[in-house]
Amino acid sequence: KYNAIIFDLDGVICHTDQYHYEAWKAVADELGIYFDEAINNRLRGVSRMESFEIILERYEKEMSEADKEHWLTKKNEIYKALLKNMSPADLSLEVKETLDGLRESGHKLAIGSSSKNARFILGQLGLGEYFDAISDGNNISKSKPDPEVFVKAAEYIEEAQKHCLVVEDAEAGLKAAIAGGMDCAAIGDAVGCGLGTYNLATFSDLLKVVEN
């Protein structure tokens, strides 16, 4: 049924929540805005600017677009410095073995991530050359729940959307897959929202999903 699997990156292939948290916390502290892990969870799968808008809900004053850009650049500099701590040791054996298994069974494998740092993160994990295509925050004009990032991924690997399965950890990502006419497998927090065609208890469950 599926010729290709399109993976979200953060929260599916790897976990960068803590680094996003530390970088946003540094920015929020400088601005005197309250920020905690619960607010950080709302930023999952959301673009950088939209993430900042959520943080600014607790900011009393108005902020100019130029100032917003300044803080976004600052957040990304802190975040990228933290990403340098990532290495192939951060890629779990389960994820690597499952990806290899899916490839051996003839599936094309692509990335569909909102992040502009997707290629950098994949390089840190030792997956720089691994995927057949990467669609990320650099090639889209609308972020999830818009389907653009996944539609582009399907285009890059030359597969019809109905033959692609998306794997996502965020509700916005599941909505994006559905809007793009694709089935989706929910993992982690996304399981709770009930939008997944399948719910994965663990990453390797994907092997069972594609067998059927």
Give the catalytic positions in this structure.
Answer: 8, 10
Q: Could you tell me the smallest distance in angstroms from the CB atom of residue 121 to ligand B16? A: 8
Please choose, from the candidates 185, 189, 175, the residue with its C-alpha nearest in 3D space to the C-alpha of residue 209: 185
* Site membership for ligand B16, residue 133 (CB under 6 A): no
* Site membership for ligand B16, residue 174 (CB under 6 A): no
Closer residue to ligand B16 in complex, CB, 137/181:
137
* Site membership for ligand B16, residue 113 (CB under 6 A): yes
Closer residue to ligand B16 in complex, CB, 106/115:
115
Q: Could you tell me the smallest distance in angstroms from the CB atom of residue 211 to ligand B16? A: 26
Which H or E run contains 28?
helix 17-31
Task: Give the number of C-alpha atoms closer than 13 A to the C-alpha of residue 150, restricted to the C-beta side.
Answer: 32
* Site membership for ligand B16, residue 45 (CB under 6 A): yes
Q: Which 3 state secondary structure label does DSSP give 115?
A: coil
DSSP string covering 125-175: TT-TTTSSEEE-TTS-SS-TTSTHHHHHHHHHTT--GGGEEEEESSHHHHH
Q: Could you tell me the smallest distance in angstroms from the CB atom of residue 7 to ligand B16? A: 9
97-102 CB contacts, 8 Å cutoff, 24+ apart: 97/204, 98/203, 98/204, 98/206, 98/207, 99/130, 101/207, 102/5, 102/206, 102/207, 102/210
Closer residue to ligand B16 in complex, CB, 69/208:
69
Closer residue to ligand B16 in complex, CB, 2/150:
150
Q: Which 3 state secondary structure label does DSSP give 60?
A: coil
Q: Could you tell me the smallest distance in angstroms from the CB atom of residue 212 to ligand B16? A: 26
Question: Which entry of ligand B16, Mg ion, none binds 174, CB below 5 to 8 A by partner kind?
Answer: none
Question: Which entry of ligand B16, Mg ion, none binds 115, CB below 5 to 8 A by partner kind?
Answer: ligand B16
Residues interacting with ligand B16, by CB under 6 A?
8-11, 20, 43-48, 51, 76, 113-117, 137
